[in-house]
Structure 1
Amino acid sequence: MSVRFVLASSSPARLKTLRAAGVEPEVIVSGVDEDNVTAESPGELARLLATLKARAVVAGLTEHATVLGCDSVLEIDGVAYGKPGTPDAARDRLREMRGKTGVLHTGHCLIDTSGKQELRELESTTVYFADLTDEEIDAYVDTGEPLVVAGSFTVDGLGGAFVTGIEGDYHNVVGLSLPLLRRMLASVGISWPALWQSSPRIQYDDTEAARYDDTRGGFARAKAAAEAVHSLLPWTAAGSSTEVPAGGGQRVLELAVGTGIVGAELVALGNLVHGVDLSESMLQRARIRLPGHVAAADAGRLPVADRRCDAVVAIWLLHLLEDSSAVIAEVARVLRPDGVFITTTEKSDSSRYADGRGPNDTRSQDALSLLVAQAARHGLTLDGATTFPGPPRNTNESPLYPLVRFRRT
């Protein structure tokens, strides 16, 4: 049975938890104003917020789906703590929490539109906090992590060392209870294995990898692409006030790095580049050009911690995918605030127009209108563009490939 499963949450931790469990949800952010919602207890507040999120997303759907809304609230001494929002608030909360025991409540609301069923559940986990020093609190707040999470801490991130123990479901502290979700899905007639999905994998064998560069314009196109990407990087763009710190601190992650031919040109321009790809045949060549800086990984499930990259680059990737939403979500997760995503766009249509043919509506995952809409859901805003030439075609004219930049807000 095919299930359209929607996560009504912008939480990277919840998305990461589901993906680690083999579930690739469609993410739709609810837009619910959490600050103006009240309830009689912290647990009821978490359940109410989860319900409001799920209902808000369902209201905007035009097709049937199973929608999960979640919200977490930390309770200490009967007081509810959500996201602090500011460094001062986070610092005050962490000082109040240190050495104490709290209860992390996560509300779950599952709405199955086809069966017109709505389930509302609450999972609560006891959390024991270490007696943090003022220096540890200040250092933790400076990372920015506690500002955007319920209760000002994480158990799966930098804050994990400050949690001395839990009683209950670990995943519930991260943001959603997998065992509870499994039971809720069973109540609406959906088995847990029905949600297991595999991302499409585009592979190249040794023969294809060996001739890939020559059939894709070789070094000339790779250099043109790298120079165009370089011009859009925030620390090299014309008029930019952003400077590269000593030691080349900015991190550029190239998705579908392939043979590393573009990445190597970016390195030659002074950038620190890491790359991921699914094809071992391609990676064998990339390891020669980018030794120690490439890894086998799915662009839709990146082995990168949250907010670790200054720029993510994708050259000729999105048009190959059946659905680019998972990749966009991952890009937003790993980018630092004010980081940028640079990608080619409209490749299939530009190639078809160059050959005198019309557009192909069946391959639109790199269509600019679609990318702008998907990016907006994850806090990415289009704020730059350029083009670069490809190899000459039969007319001896070089086609121009569009390159766009999205900035993480």
Structure 2
Amino acid sequence: MSIRFVLASASPARLKTLRSAGIEPEVIVSGVYEDDVTAESPGELARLLATLKARAVVANLTDHATVLGCDSVLEFDGQPYGKPETPEVARERWKMMRGRSGVLHTGHCLIDTSGKQELRELSSTKVQFADLTDDEIDAYVATGEPLVVAGAFTVDGLGGPFVTAIEGDYHNVVGLSLPLLRRMLAEVGVSWPALWKAQKPFTYDESVASTYDETRGGEPRAQGAAAAVDSLLESPGRVVELAVGTGIVGAELVALGNLVHGFDLSTAMLERAKVRLPGHVAAADAARLPVADRRCDAVVAVWLLHLLDDSEPVIAEVARVLRTGGVFVTTTEKTDASRYADTRGPNDTRSQDSLAHLTALAARHGLVLDGATTFPGPVRNTGNAPTYPVVRFRRR
């Protein structure tokens, strides 16, 4: 049975929570203006806003779907608090909250259009806040994060260190209660595992390609990746890049003196790569390259292997096209939390880019690990920069 599951919310945190639990929803923003809505209590306000969001999306659907609307409101001293919107309001809010506790209410409204069912639920979690100094409040407000989130804080972002305890569902504080959603779905006849199976395979279509570079660290991350890869190449030379994407890394490799030929399956990504690497990109499967045996000096794969269900066919193909002494340079160990293949369900086998797994596969096909380096990624909203490992295998 095909299930169309829609998230009626623009919240990145809610989308990330669902993706981490194995569900890739269709996102449709409701357009409900929250400031015009009132209710008799903060909890009822959260539930009402969630209902209005879900109904607004359903009203514009042309086919059946299961639609989830959510909204969060912080209750403090009996009053509701949403997004502060301005630094001044956020600063005063934190001076009131520090060292004290409030209740984060998240309203959930699930509408199943085929069964004509509407469920409205509320999940509430007590949140204890740290006793922040004025300097800490000023620094946090300056990041901009508390201005755009309910209650002026996050538990999964920069505000995490300022939440000392919670009593209830952690995910509810992030933006939606997964256990509650599971129960609601069951009431309308949708099992949670069915949503794992219902997700469409991820594709790098135009909607992804159009924002790919800017949402993946842009040129700074590409320059870091290219510099790391180049340091593991024998010398500037002819390079075959698998999953060349938009060509952003390949172009940086060219700037370092290499001649890059790129292959990719995505037409939308290749349209952009053609601009950066004119005449040097083509459509091809990384497991079936249009290259003769033992012709390549170097093959490069940046953020490809972690996307695969089985990396061995690609490793075998790399071994086929590399000359004796040629090298395969690839990123590795991209964690489940950060990898882009968020559409994977929880029943997947081992990560296909883990170093131990790749080393074993490579040895099976005559490739030996003989070099490694790392490069830093862009700083995230946690204040930390991830480190990406890059390794080199040599063809025996």
Q: 1:159, CA displacement in angstroms?
A: 0.7
Per the alignment, residue 83 of structure 1 pairs with 83
Shift of the 290–22 alpha-carbon distance from structure 1 to 2, 3 Å rule, reads closer
Classify the secondary structure of the residue corresponding to 2:13. helix
- Structure 1 residues 321-340: aligned runs within 5 Å: none
Q: 1:86, CA displacement in angstroms?
A: 1.5
Contact 2:70 2:108 in 1 (8 A): yes
Q: 1:265, CA displacement in angstroms?
A: 2.0
Structure 2 CA distance for aligned equivalents of residues 21 and 10 of structure 1: 18
Per the alignment, residue 187 of structure 2 pairs with 187
Q: Deviations over 1:224-261 (max 9, x none)?
A: xxxxx99x99xx9xxxxxxx9xxx6999999x954997
Q: 1:189, CA displacement in angstroms?
A: 1.1
Q: 1:266 aligns with which of 252, 265, 269?
A: 252
- Structure 1 residues 394-405: aligned runs within 5 Å: none
Structure 1 CA distance for aligned equivalents of residues 331 and 3 of structure 2: 41
Q: Deviations over 1:35-93 (max 9, x none)?
A: 11111110010000000000000000000000000000001111111011122211111
Contact 2:302 2:331 in 1 (8 A): no
Aligned residues: CA RMSD: 3.9
Contact 1:5 1:67 in 2 (8 A): yes
Per the alignment, residue 221 of structure 1 pairs with none
Per the alignment, residue 301 of structure 1 pairs with 342
Q: 1:144, CA displacement in angstroms?
A: 1.6
Per the alignment, residue 276 of structure 1 pairs with 303
Contact 2:53 2:69 in 1 (8 A): yes
Classify the secondary structure of the residue corresponding to 1:109. strand
Q: 1:288, CA displacement in angstroms?
A: 6.2
Structure 1 CA distance for aligned equivalents of residues 86 and 25 of structure 2: 30
Letter in 1 for 2:119: L
Per the alignment, residue 281 of structure 2 pairs with none
- Structure 1 residues 127-138: aligned runs within 5 Å: 127-138=127-138
Shift of the 298–250 alpha-carbon distance from structure 1 to 2, 3 Å rule, reads closer
Q: 1:301, CA displacement in angstroms?
A: 2.5
Per the alignment, residue 267 of structure 2 pairs with none
Structure 2 CA distance for aligned equivalents of residues 252 and 29 of structure 1: 35
Gaps of 5+ in 2: 204-211, 227-241, 257-300, 345-378, 382-396
Shift of the 252–29 alpha-carbon distance from structure 1 to 2, 3 Å rule, reads farther
Q: Deviations over 1:307-334 (max 9, x none)?
A: xxxxxxxxxxxxxxxxxxxxxxxxxxx9
Count residues with an aligned counterpart.
263
Contact 2:109 2:119 in 1 (8 A): yes
Gaps of 5+ in 1: 203-228, 237-243, 304-333, 337-409
Q: 1:143, CA displacement in angstroms?
A: 1.6
- TM-score if structure 1 supplies the norm length? 0.56
Per the alignment, residue 259 of structure 2 pairs with none
Per the alignment, residue 367 of structure 1 pairs with none
- TM-score if structure 2 supplies the norm length? 0.58
Structure 1 CA distance for aligned equivalents of residues 380 and 29 of structure 2: 18
- Structure 1 residues 157-196: aligned runs within 5 Å: 157-196=157-196
Shift of the 191–92 alpha-carbon distance from structure 1 to 2, 3 Å rule, reads same
Classify the secondary structure of the residue corresponding to 1:158. coil
Q: Deviations over 1:3-46 (max 9, x none)?
A: 11000000000001111111111000000000111111100100
Contact 1:13 1:175 in 2 (8 A): yes
Contact 2:43 2:122 in 1 (8 A): yes
Per the alignment, residue 374 of structure 1 pairs with none
Letter in 2 for 1:79: Q
Shift of the 60–251 alpha-carbon distance from structure 1 to 2, 3 Å rule, reads farther
Classify the secondary structure of the residue corresponding to 1:276. coil
Contact 2:103 2:124 in 1 (8 A): yes
User: How many percent of aligned residue pairs carry the same amino acid?
Assistant: 65
Work out whether 1:45 is the aligned partner of 2:24.
no
